Amino acid sequence: MSKIKELLNKRYGYFILFLFLLWLKTYMAYWIEFSLGVSGIMENIILVINPIATGVIVLSIALFFKSPNLRKWIMFTLLLLMTLLLYVNVLYYREFADFLTFNIVSSTNNVTPALFTSTFEMMRAWDLLYWVDIMLFAYLFFYKKKAPLTEDRKTYKRRTKTLVTSLGVLLLAGNLILAEIDRPELLTRTFDRNYIVKYLGLNFFTGYDVFQASQNSQMRVSADESDLAKVFNFSAENHAAPNPEYFGVAEDRNVIVIALESVQQFLIDYELEDEYGETHEVMPFLSSIYNDEASYSFENFFHQTSQGKSSDAEVLGELSLYGLPQGSAFQTLGSTNTFHSAPNILDQHGDYTSAAFHGNVGSFWNRTDTYRSFGYDFFFDSEFYDVSGERSMEYGLKDKLFFHDSVEYLEQLPQPFYSKFITVSHHFPYPLDEQNVEFPAARTGDDTINNFFVTAHYADQALEEFFNYLKSSGLYDDSIIVMYGDHYGISDMRNPDLAPLVGEDPDEWDDYHNTQIQRVPYIMHVPGVDNGEVFDTYSGQVDMLPTLMHLLGMETKGYLFMGQDILSEEHDNTVPLRNGRVITPEYTFFEQEIYDTETGEPLHDQFTEEELEALYRYRDEAREELNHSNEILMKDLLRFYNPEPLDELKEIDYLYRNQMDVLEAHPRKDTSLIEQRDGASTTNLYQTDAPEMAGPESGASEEYSDSPGQPE
């Protein structure tokens, strides 16, 4: 006690002690309460620093008050508030594995169940450690008025006070630099709130979240129905009438959407040569479905994602809108906006049940909140799977286990249903346990590229197992199965190393090649049809929803879609990418450069100024589509417009907990697969060779375990 008294009687005594206490309890929460995935020296250093930087800045506010007693009380109040912020996040994280956001707190539907209903169940005995210092100082300040805990009463010089605040700002700047070095584009891409807290701290995250909410709110508040005019006119002119040959061929069927993580078009029918000169098809099953007579497949289909990556693909595929120019629409707008999404549209058109499946945490890309806004009835995230030990890799449950373990939920869904499966095994940097390796690695100087083919083969095997289950369970014939590559797998930086494997010269690889390789597979497999083919139509992910709706026999006229039905004879073969590049069958546009799409020959110098001006207008009109999409999202324009039959959007008022109870009470429960089988589960029909399912003595083929470039 004498040491504390001695410290507090010194200048900055309270400041130093309160800062230390704040750092201690925050650092304790980082390790005990939050699953931040800290690894490596750099991340550990950052974790030590980040509570200090914002703590210095916040507590230094008290130093600018002249009265010593007032300074003490303000500093104590600031410590109390930051402790409260920390603790409510601890309670929320224990239940939802996520951090509180402004949008959650400001939403009654979120606050009530999340913070109050089960608060006492979330409390632990050691929670006293977060409050013991607060209780001690409250006791001393309120009841021990003559306590010897009085700070030095000398006046602080303005220069000194400013210096302390500046020190906090410098620490924060250093923290930001370290974070940028270890995790580039952290704030612009905003993968997951866990990342921001890990790298920049809980206090910073809270301030950043409030700032983002404020920015979004200002743009949203300034909008009104008059802003719809240009967008509505564009959408009406952009509408492509359905092709009678394909309209309704999948009417009333279940919809099973599979996001093929990082799968690019060049993997279709691709054979990789091993070190012995033998060739091996990388994705034989996906390629067979791609070429099947029951599939409508597209060879010039481009991903149109940006910083939002997989979440952008979901925006494109389920809203027919583009993601944002910066960051993720899921992260930025998913909790607040009104969406005319596939789950809501199919529910209104055909009484579809909707469910999303993902073997990662629901907070990643803010999926839990966004899916509620999309109107998903159910979302099965990592909380509903066993993701322990060797069953998972960095981004979640391995694909073979993911599909297998999803069956117990899929069979419970009332039919018809709209379901989405988000795979993760074929995800950068493409690690894979040796027990799962059954394919040779490529032999380049880049291990990421080498292992890209190994994980793609594993993903293909998982997909085939899932198809086999669909057939044996009877779901196959009653469904349309939609598969799409969500975004590129090999980045522009690595593409020159990839070039020889795709028949290109690395020395000649340029922006044209970087653009053309953004093709990804898009397959709509409709069991029973025989008019499938591989189309050469130029299209993109924004076209997925109107194409699906027409296959289901649902009209799209009146919806504010940026995309068109790819199978329509009126489809416009112009593909805007999110970075502003535009691709047509004839031309590929960059800023001022124009390439021949087929040959890659630069064409700029071959046109007159008048011809260039005409072509640039063509490019700019395509880019205008991106601007219309930005208007819809950033101003939340869909709240002003509900096309028939979306007269009332579905509101999901629970946080995807106790979902099996919700399914049990569903009014159309009798239409589920398991009920149609008189309660007999179909899980035993699922056949997998995943070694994790067979016990420690079972293993995958070791044929290529010693191949160069395999992950250790």
- Annotated binding site: which residue ranges? 261, 427, 486-487
Annotation: binding site for Mn(2+): 261, 486-487
Quick one: CA dihedral 292, 295, 296, 298, positive or negative? negative
Q: 223: burial class by Cβ within 10 Å (0-12, 13-18, 19+)?
A: middle
SS3 of 134-153: the string is HHHHHHHHHHCCCCCCCCCC
Which element (helix H / strand E) includes 88?
helix 68-96
Known active-site residue 310: yes
Measured between alpha carbons, how far is residue 148 from residues 11, 62, 451, 704 in Å? 15, 21, 66, 73
Which element (helix H / strand E) includes 550?
helix 544-551
- Find where tokens 């020159």 sit: 496
Residue 435 is classified by DSSP as G
Q: Are 250 and 527 in contact (CB under 8 A)?
A: no
Other CB atoms within 10 Å distance of the CB of residue 601: 11
Measured between alpha carbons, how far is residue 49 from residues 4, 15, 79 in Å? 24, 17, 18
Question: Do β-strands 522-525 and 392-393 pair in parallel, antiparallel, or remain unpaired?
Answer: unpaired
Using left for φ > 0, alpha for ψ between -120 and 50, and beta otherwise, residue 587 falls in: beta
* H-type alpha helices, 272-418: 284-290, 309-319, 329-333, 342-350, 367-374, 399-410
Other CB atoms within 10 Å distance of the CB of residue 393: 20
What is the per-residue DSSP string for 269-313? T-EEE-TTS-EEESSHHHHHHHTSTTEEEEEEEE----TTHHHHH
Annotation: binding site for substrate: 427
Residue 451: closest CA among 439, 464, 463, 435: 439
State the catalytic residue, choosing from 310, 320, 419, 672: 310
Sheet of 582-583, strand order: 575-576, 582-583, 587-589, 594-596
Proportion of the chain in helix, strand, coil states, percent, rounded to 5: 50, 10, 40
Backbone torsions φ then ψ of 315, nearest 5 degrees: -60, -45
Q: Residue 109: CB partners within 8 Å, gap ≥ 6? A: 653
Measured between alpha carbons, how far is residue 340 from residues 144, 376, 650 in Å? 61, 12, 10
Quick one: CA dihedral 50, 51, 52, 53, positive or negative? positive
Active site residues: 310
